[in-house]
Amino acid sequence: MTLLSLINMRAKRAFLCLARTLPKAMAVQSAFLMSEIIFYAVRSPDTTFSVSDAAVTILTVLLISWIAFFVIELTKYSSSNSYHRYDSDLIGSAFTGINRKSAVFENGLELFHKGHFRSALEVFTDLDNSNLKRTDEEQRILDFFRGRCYHILGTYPNALMCYDKADERGMDAPILPLFIARCCISNGDIERAKKIYNELLDTDYEFRDMIRTEYGKMYLKLNDGQNALKWFQEAIDRHENYADALGGAAIAQNMLHNFKEGEELYRAAMLNNIEDPKTYSNYYKEIQAAVLLETHTDA
């Protein structure tokens, strides 16, 4: 990043923060003005005061509150070189203008990162349907984040459609092929998912260590414990995505009615700090209970 572009980005960010915080400062000013009017009306109805003094006081309150809100807003940015508060490396120079489309996108981005995915989707979709002109870069970023919202909300056909649009427009996000493959699996298009994984397997792909565990998870969804275990075991042997591989192998062993081996792998996964251990533990126990019930029913 050149010095000029860095200065330009910081200046845009500062103007954006000023624009965002002005309504808050004006709200404080209005509240102060109303409280002063009520105070003089109730406590000192006969008091006279200078209009110029009152104007100076009100403007001072506005200025102080605006500065305070501005500083607070600036501190929300994680990096001094970032324009966007979140995902600046992914979004790049998209939606960095001092304009309505950038403000709308930033609002959607904030909702997304606060976990309000449905509200974020509504904001992103409204922006997509609007007549606000967008660059190709902005459109593919918008497609990507709409896809993320649909994906997280479990609407896989819509998610895949948005991901494919982002990909066709040249979205440069290394994680995108995995998102596409996962949606293909959820939509029942197993062959396309396999094709994606095979193209990425044993390459210099950034997330290559995840491919074998992704294969394993695909077979878990297909209720194929044998093939799932094969891929998870390969990942364990290669020490790829290790905790996830242990956790997946534990579930696969349960599917195969190998409960002792499954329990050992489950403990190993927990000891190796598997991601989101509470959710994983609940899932593991659900699978175990279902298999045990099936075993007793068959008996």
pLDDT in tens, 171-210: 989 999 999 999 999 999 999 999 999 999 988 999 999 9
Residue 6: the pLDDT is 43
Residue 213: the pLDDT is 97
Residue 137 lies in a domain: no
Do 208 and 292 belong to one domain?
yes
Residue 136 lies in a domain: no
Output the six-digit token pair for 84: 């966007």
Instruction: Point out the domain boundary residue: 74, 105, 124.
Output: 74
Nearest by Cα to 210 from 191, 195, 232, 227 = 232
Nearest by Cα to 212 from 203, 270, 186 = 203
Do 29 and 152 belong to one domain?
no
| 8 A C-beta contact, residue 232 and residue 212 | yes
Residue 36 lies in a domain: yes
| 8 A C-beta contact, residue 247 and residue 280 | yes
Instruction: Point out the domain boundary residue: 56, 74, 92.
Output: 74
- In the Cβ-directed half-sphere of 131, how many Cα atoms lie within 13 Å? 0
Residue 3: the pLDDT is 43
Handedness of CA 125, 127, 130, 134 (dihedral sign): negative
| Confidence label for 41 from pLDDT (cuts 50, 70 and 90) | low
Secondary structure class of 59 (helix, strand, coil): helix
Instruction: Point out the least confidently predicted range of 10-19, 73-82, 267-276.
Output: 73-82
Residue 222 lies in a domain: yes
Residue 267 has pLDDT above 90, yes or no: yes
Residue 94 lies in a domain: no
User: Across residues 271-284, what is the average pLDDT?
Assistant: 94
pLDDT in tens, 52-106: 766 777 788 778 877 777 666 666 554 444 555 667 778 877 887 767 898 899 8
What is the longest distance spanned by two Cα atoms in the chain?
Answer: 93
Q: How many domains does the chain have?
A: 2
- Range of 244's domain? 145-298
Instruction: Point out the least confidently predicted range of 39-48, 76-85, 135-144, 244-253.
Output: 76-85
Predicted TM-score (pTM) above 0.75? no
| Confidence label for 9 from pLDDT (cuts 50, 70 and 90) | low
Residue 107 lies in a domain: no
- What are the phi and psi torsion angles at 199 (to 5°)? -70, -25
| CATH code: domain of residue 228 | 1.25.40.10
Output the six-digit token pair for 132: 């606000």
Instruction: Point out the domain boundary residue: 23, 50, 74.
Output: 74
Do 150 and 288 belong to one domain?
yes
Residue 115 lies in a domain: no
Indicate the DSSP class of residue 187.
T
Do 167 and 291 belong to one domain?
yes
Do 149 and 31 belong to one domain?
no
